[in-house]
Amino acid sequence: MALAFLNLGTPEIILIFFVVVIPLFTLVDIIKSDFKDNFTKLLWIVIVLLAPLLGCLLYFLIGRSQKVSRYM
C-alpha cells in the first residue's frame, strides 16, 4: 500500500531506508561535526560512501567517539 503509485512495497521501502536515508543522516552528522583533523572527517565520509551499511555501523560505534567536543 505504501507508495503504490511507484510500485514500491514494504521490502523496497525498508531497503531504501537502510541504503539511502541512514547513510544520508550519517553523512550530515559527519559533515557538521568537528574532528581532531580533516583527514579523519574525510576518511569517515569515504567509508560511509563506499560501504553505506557497514560504514554507518562503524561510525556510530567508533567514529562518534573521535569527534571533538565544542563545549569545553
Residue 17 lies in a domain: no
Domain range enclosing 41: 26-66
Residue 30 lies in a domain: yes
Residue 38 lies in a domain: yes
Domain count, the chain: 1
Confidence of residue 23 (pLDDT cuts 50, 70, 90): very high
The per-residue pLDDT for 14 is 84
Residue 12 lies in a domain: no
Residue 5 lies in a domain: no
Residue 19 lies in a domain: no
DSSP line for 28-50: HHHHHS-BSSHHHHHHHHHHHHH
Kindly report the average pLDDT of the chain as a whole number: 87
Residue 2 lies in a domain: no
pLDDT in tens, 28-48: 999 999 998 899 999 999 999
Residue 7 lies in a domain: no
Confidence of residue 7 (pLDDT cuts 50, 70, 90): confident
Q: Integer distance in angstroms from the first to the last C-alpha of the chain? A: 50
